[in-house]
Chain A
């Protein structure tokens, strides 16, 4: 047991060092690396809900988008009148000082974690009674509705979109912005990973699994499933909101349906990445997101115009050949490496029976 832990320690410290060194090693790729961190976070949080609890949701994009708008609104609203900032063609130009910018984004991120979690609790209370396809379809509507509603609210820019505060001009280093957002997202990634890892060792995860495997039995055993389902979703929403807040600042421009409540892309990607890596595993979403991101960045520009066809093919391939994801596939092939013991006699007996 101790030996395994030591190995883990090497692996984790290696990854953290790689993560810290990455923006210096691959300076030109900082933005892509930031995206990678955020994508992994999204895949991991989706996995909590869709993989561990078995409640496939398309609604997590709601929290991501909310986080984006909240962070930007707080960042602006703390120092300037928000309505005048978002008004198109306004004559005034507002400029954040360096201190204002960082204070704003700090408070904004805090808000963007807490409010989505509360909203997840409220919505969860209403709709987590639905199961299976019904829940999936219901959450699909959430993101779409949020996009349309946000597109009509004047104070956050409505259809005009919301330009987030530019990085303070007093910081002359052009690399500073990229580094800031990279380390912010990397910190979020570590935080999320530690949290999920902690959950994996807890009773909470077993309860989520019990809900996934047979909710009625879980209930019969005396587990208050509703309470745990809501808590699970709130955890997802907490990190999704943070991811959204960071992305909003990084992209610099929030559009209601294309950037914030982007169910068609981000909303689908987070599901796809988790499934690609293997849902219901700790490392699956991490590996899935990494592979997906490399595939997307590396290949998409080579097959301009056909990238969505390629994406479609990828989805088909995943579903047919890796229904359990890469981790699931590895587990099936090399079960002993996952600590599963196979009783050879029993296996042979089963083969003979066939």
Chain B
């Protein structure tokens, strides 16, 4: 026992020493670098979108650094990001946010991927008064908590598919439609659902199927069987990348005929590439599309961003990457206007943000959400075996006409 106790005490003191020597942390600005922190989902259920987000951040960091960096008080600084993997888990994300702030000494944060994780991190950044510009947390409930240090470059989740219901009603001669909907059990998708409920109420539409999908989403056959039986006018599905892939896979397998199919995350799921003609006519909500006419001096136009991104990472940028890149442009702009590294000065500068980026106009509302940018809808259209996403709404940017109704599977080649 004696030796055991000694061993125990020795090991405890060793650990103590090790910890003390680790406590010395970085500073927010190290030499020529402004250090930002981010917890990102590199593994787990959001890993594909987590990587899209990280690629977006990295692309912007590289571009801004190459083009002169950030000028504060006459000195040029470069961006650097410390990443941790949050494993798509809110608990881990909150813990890592603490770690970034307390141990790595990060004073400015970039958001994680998904609303749920942003919800977990926001209380932490708020507590330490750390400005966070996030690009992937769209849930409306993020913007009603009175957070003062949270800024989102994207439009709130309830706006995602409201326009789709309006389109359906318009095609129905102004009369209400019958809606079938299925949403993943997570903060983002449930908010999209609330948007649809509002739209249904407004247009006098009726919701005939209202299903919930599990988080580890790979089967929705039960919902689709009901859709086959009840023949709704619109089918709405939202469940991040897996939701989009599962929906298209099973709709084509089960040959479900529905006049209109509205979804989210089509481009992140690379639907038009992965499923080709099977995904044709799917209507998708998006924060961004390369054909929009926004511009900035770092990335040029959306088309140029698309080209550069493809060259760098080998695939077309989904909106998750574009909005993530935009988050850094917002930070750069805020630092330069604040002309200081004081957190509150940067925060105040962020409040006054009003700028155009290749991704869209950015101006923050009182809750921190971006109020200057509308959502867009695109539809997957194919020529032969080549499928592409064509913007169909709003009309200002529409490159193609909205194709309605979707032809029956028996009539599709």
A complexed with B: yes
Contact (Cβ within 8 A) A253 B123 = yes
Contact (Cβ within 8 A) B158 A89 = yes
Give Cα A176 to B145, complex, Å. Answer: 21
Q: How large is the interface on A (under 10, 10 to 19, 20 to 34, 35 or more residues)?
A: 35 or more
Q: Which residues of B contact A257 (CB under 8 A)?
A: 185, 215
Q: Which residues of A contact B16 (CB under 8 A)?
A: 18, 25
A160 to chain B, nearest CB (A): 5
Give Cα A292 to B215, complex, Å. Answer: 28
Decide if A91 is an interface residue (CB 8 Å cutoff). yes
Interface segment among B3-11, B69-77, B318-326, B377-385: the answer is: B3-11
Contact (Cβ within 8 A) B145 A337 = no
Would you give 14 A-B contacts (Cβ < 8 Å), ordered by A? A7-B1, A7-B5, A25-B16, A28-B25, A35-B95, A90-B141, A91-B144, A159-B212, A160-B190, A166-B126, A252-B124, A253-B90, A307-B85, A337-B2
Tally of B interface residues using CB under 8 Å: 58
Contact (Cβ within 8 A) B43 A307 = yes
Decide if A256 is an interface residue (CB 8 Å cutoff). yes
A86 to chain B, nearest CB (A): 9
Q: Which residues of B contact A30 (CB under 8 A)?
A: 102
Contact (Cβ within 8 A) B89 A161 = no
Contact (Cβ within 8 A) A253 B191 = no
Contact (Cβ within 8 A) A301 B84 = yes
Contact (Cβ within 8 A) A29 B23 = yes
Residue of A nearest to B183 (CB): A159
Q: Which residues of B contact A177 (CB under 8 A)?
A: 127
Contact (Cβ within 8 A) B85 A7 = no
Q: CB within 8 Å of B: which of A7-32?
A: 7, 11, 14-15, 18, 25-32
Q: Which residues of B contact A18 (CB under 8 A)?
A: 12, 16
Q: CB within 8 Å of B: which of A26-46?
A: 26-32, 35
Contact (Cβ within 8 A) A337 B139 = no
**Known contacts A91-B144, A160-B191, A307-B43, A31 near B185 by CB under 8 Å:** no
Q: Which residues of A contact B141 (CB under 8 A)?
A: 88-90, 160, 163
Q: Which residues of B contact A27 (CB under 8 A)?
A: 23, 102
Q: Which residues of B contact A167 (CB under 8 A)?
A: 127
| Interface of B: prevailing SS | helix
Q: Residue A258 contacts which of B19, B90, B139, B190 (CB distance < 8 angstroms)?
A: B90
Decide if B348 is an interface residue (CB 8 Å cutoff). no
Contact (Cβ within 8 A) B94 A337 = no
Give Cα A18 to B13, complex, Å. Answer: 10
Decide if A324 is an interface residue (CB 8 Å cutoff). no
**Known contacts A148-B214, A151-B212, A305 near B85 by CB under 8 Å:** yes
Q: CB within 8 Å of A: which of B1-38?
A: 1-5, 8-9, 12, 15-16, 19-20, 23, 25
Contact (Cβ within 8 A) B90 A14 = no
Decide if B187 is an interface residue (CB 8 Å cutoff). yes
Q: Which residues of A contact B183 (CB under 8 A)?
A: 159
Binary interface encoding of chain A residues 322-347 relative to chain B, with 1 for a CB under 8 A from any of its CBs, else 0? 00000000100010011100000000
**Known contacts A167-B127, A255-B90, A339-B1, A14 near B9 by CB under 8 Å:** yes
Decide if B346 is an interface residue (CB 8 Å cutoff). no
Give Cα A331 to B243, complex, Å. Answer: 52
Q: Which residues of A contact B128 (CB under 8 A)?
A: 174
Decide if A4 is an interface residue (CB 8 Å cutoff). yes
Contact (Cβ within 8 A) B4 A337 = yes
Decide if B219 is an interface residue (CB 8 Å cutoff). no
Contact (Cβ within 8 A) B90 A163 = no
Contact (Cβ within 8 A) B103 A28 = yes
Decide if B119 is an interface residue (CB 8 Å cutoff). yes
Give Cα A334 to B4, complex, Å. Answer: 10
A314 to chain B, nearest CB (A): 16
Give Cα A7 to B3, complex, Å. Answer: 11
